[in-house]
Amino acid sequence: MMKVNRVRTSRTKKKYESPDSPTSVGWTRPYTVRLADENKPLLLDCGEELAPIDVEYEIYGQMNEKKDNVILLLHALSGDAHAAGWDETADEMGRTWRTDRPGWWDTMIGPGKALDTSKYCVICSNVLGGCYGTTGPASINPGTGKPYGLDFPIVTVGDWVRLQERLITHLGIERLYAVVGGSLGGQQALEWSLAYPDRVERAIILASSARLSAQGLAFNVVARNSILNDKNFNNGKYYDDEFPAQGLAIARMLGHITYLSETSMREKFGRRYRESGSRPGFHLGVDFEVESYLQYQGQSFVARFDANSYLYITRAMDYYDAADWGDGDLEKACSRAKAKFLLVSFSSDWLYTPEQMKELSFALYRNRKNVTYVDIPSTYGHDAFLLEVDKLTPIISKFLKGGIAHGI
């Protein structure tokens, strides 16, 4: 059995909306469905076929009779299908970190919220290669009877979307009212609009771009190397031994630096010392508040994520380039799209910059696509798509109702 020190946070439900609140989706539970088997494997971009594949997903709100009110929500790197409400299966599934908080976008999903579940049915599934119920490196390889580890094939954003299409088809949905995603989820939303243009009516892409920058690639390289060089990594075969906690924690710490802006880090931490007031402690341990924050983020992440999944998901992030649909020409690729687009960037995001989102908006605009681009002033950095609830809600709500927010 994989050995991991589980970290319970000090946060409590009092910080969040109660499941009994009229604007909460309440208590939720995941569903699991097998979408690929030996008779119908999933052909991957790497050339391999994969089966079996199980997919975990959650549903909020009700599908109408025509099933034309469905919004597919796509999660980012460390997200999962539990996007809203309180997971009633958290303890029995061993996902104890969920017991003291709702889903990762709970502030945006529910009656009267941006993704209004009194009008829309919201579906969110875990990506292939992840570690939250959908088949991934920790799943049992039917050929060996042991976890796949690094024998799991390389997967791409395109593979994820083709698997999501199987889920949507399985649920009897012909056309999605909208696809919505932030960060890596935004790239999945973009891929949906290009891979299945006739099945997407609207696409909402937040804090994302058509491709990851060279700087973004560089951060992912360093993060993966921290895992690969952990003494406990054992070529990905650590499930019955010590977990590569240090490597994964460092990868997460590095990631969090890219999620925050310089302004937000200055406001949250500055150069304040953790315990010794305005003077240094004269040691090599945790002395600054920012050190304490990053250490906490790394340790808590180790308690809920798989190191191999981190490798596979960041590699899929690296490989994605929407221009591939146009033989390297983004404008040509965007000619495929038929959806109405809402693109939102955040002024202080330096992982997926406003300039990158403008590039995508111009490529769509030059194809005479229906596109609204909004750049939201924010000091939160990349995390703004999770935190700027008051600014995002009216923009998304109006767009979903058929209106144009306010373009640039």
Contacting residues for 10 by C-beta, under 8 A, at least 6 apart: none
Contacting residues for 255 by C-beta, under 8 A, at least 6 apart: 77, 78, 219, 223
As a whole number of angstroms, the distance between CA 293 and CA 291 comes to: 5
Write down the residue that tokens 């009516």 correspond to: 201
Please provide the DSSP assignment of 77-114 as one string.
TT--S--SSEETTTTTTT-GGGTTS--TTGGGBSTTSS
Secondary structure in 3-state letters for the chain? CCECCCCCCCCCHHHCCCCCCCCCCCEECCEEEEEEECCECEECCCCCEECCEEEEEEEECCCCCCCCCEEEEECCCCCCCCCCCEECCCCCCCCHHHCCCCCCCHHHECCCCCECCCCCEEEEECCCCCCCCCCCCCCEECCCCEECHHHCCCCCHHHHHHHHHHHHHHCCCCCECEEEEECHHHHHHHHHHHHCHHHECEEEEECCCCECCHHHHHHHHHHHHHHHCCCCCHHHCCCCCECCHHHHHHHHHHHHHHHCCHHHHHHHCCCCECCCCCCCCCCCCCCEHHHHHHHHHHHHHHCCCCHHHHHHHHHHHHHCEHHHHHCCCHHHHHCCCCCEEEEEEECCCCCCCHHHHHHHHHHHHCCCCCEEEEEECCCCHHHHHHHCHHHHHHHHHHHHCCCCCCCC
Contact 310, 317 (CB under 8 A): no
As a whole number of angstroms, the distance between CA 262 and CA 258 comes to: 10
DSSP code of residue 154 = P
Provide the annotated active-site residues: 183, 349, 382
